[in-house]
Amino acid sequence: MKIIRVPNSANFVSKVIQKQPQKNKKIVESILKDIQKNGDAAIRKYEKKFNNTNIENLRLSKSEIKSAYAKVSKEELQAIKLAKSRLQKTESKIKSLLKNQTLQIDGIKISKKFQPIQSTGCYIPGGLAKYPSTVVMSVIPAKVAGVNRIVVVSPPRTDGNIDPLTIVTSDICGATEIYKTGGVQAIGALSFGTKSIPKVDKIVGPGGTFVTLAKSMINEQTSIDMLAGPTELGIIADSSANPRYVALDLISQSEHSKDTFCYLITNSEKLAKSVNCIISDLIPKIKRSEFVRPSLKQNGFIAICRNKSDMIKIANDMAPEHLQIMTRDSQKIASKITSAGLVLVGNDSPSSASDYLLGSNHILPTNGFGKIRGSLSVLDFIKTITNISTTKLSLKKISKHLQVFTDAEGLPNHYEAVRGRLE
């Protein structure tokens, strides 16, 4: 990893932040237009082109779902159910806080109701790795919220089938439909709808560069959760941190793909050099080094700051998906973090564990969106419905003040609609 000394934290982020090539946007836009125009035929064309597979029936049948169970071990089933149970507890706790409310103000009755959205599409990555954990993270919050139609889409393998573990996890968690398609074409299908895949109200889930771009482009007509991918990990660490732990954590997240964005922010030159040496020593020995090596070399960095204030500023400016804090005063530093998808505090809180079984959600904002939101949750699948009823007496009480607003904004007919009721 490249080591960068940071004399001025104010200008640092603009120099290291990743930028998307314009050609990627043109490719994604072209695929989306084809899906919108040609539907299922275009989906099959791109599955053949990108995944080298011929798909006859896009939707998994009940028999295909049932047969997938025979290919999943008892231990895998236990792990799925544990992850489901832990996240379910977290999401149910959040939902329990949402109570319908009614209030009266001068005869005006206002009620607030919390209601689930009707349908959602959950994108589950595939290809470079299997992600049954992402099924848990996307389907369970929707299920707890009460969403009626929960659709899972995932890239098929070259044999035309989705990974059995992904299928089984989808079934256990409560998905109502599963489709064999991934990439930009899956996002387009969920957004526009095709003969085989009816459109959904909202698309959630992480993905690589092209999937993330596709989600951003269809957001004009279909709601999305956030931009969630490729993976990001920032680590704040001082001289007290175990350099091997830091190296292992950076490697763990960079193994997702070649375009991950993993980095260390420290005020210790000794730690920086030690972490870099350990990574260089480990890479030839580890699995998936073909992803780890280019990712850390091309995208990763180690920033050496003058002090902890600069470390905190850079972390907040970067707003990483995952932020680990491994310092003597980790809780104190955590209290000053305002921008991160997920903050993991202490030496024994690795982001890799949060990806599976800590009870938190691993679908998190990337691309700086950690400044405005956190992880996917039950809240992403619930909308607020407001009902208001009033009376002539109530309107009369506010009419003078209402006229002040309508006159100031130059909208006289707004006031006339009220005055007409008072005559």
Percentage helix, strand, coil for the chain under 3-state DSSP, each rounded to 5: 50, 15, 35
Active-site residue, from 321, 362, 401, 409: 321
Strands 301-304 and 322-326, sheet pairing: unpaired
Whether 322 sits among the annotated catalytic residues: the reply is: yes
- Selection from 227, 230, 275 nearest residue 251 by Cα: 275
Outline where DSSP puts E strands in 273-320.
301-304
Tell me how many degrees the CA angle 397-398-404 measures, rounded to the nearest 5: 140
Active-site residue, from 177, 322, 416, 423: 322
- Selection from 180, 188, 175 nearest residue 159 by Cα: 180
Whether 409 sits among the annotated catalytic residues: the reply is: no
Cα separation of 143 and 122, whole Å? 12
Length of the chain: 423
Task: Kindly calculate the radius of gyration of the chain based on its CA atoms and give it in whole angstroms.
Answer: 25
Q: Which residues contact 272 (CB under 8 A, 6 or more apart)?
A: 3, 264, 266, 302, 304
Cα separation of 271 and 115, whole Å? 50
CA–centroid distance for 360 within its chain: 12
The residues annotated as belonging to the active site are 321-322
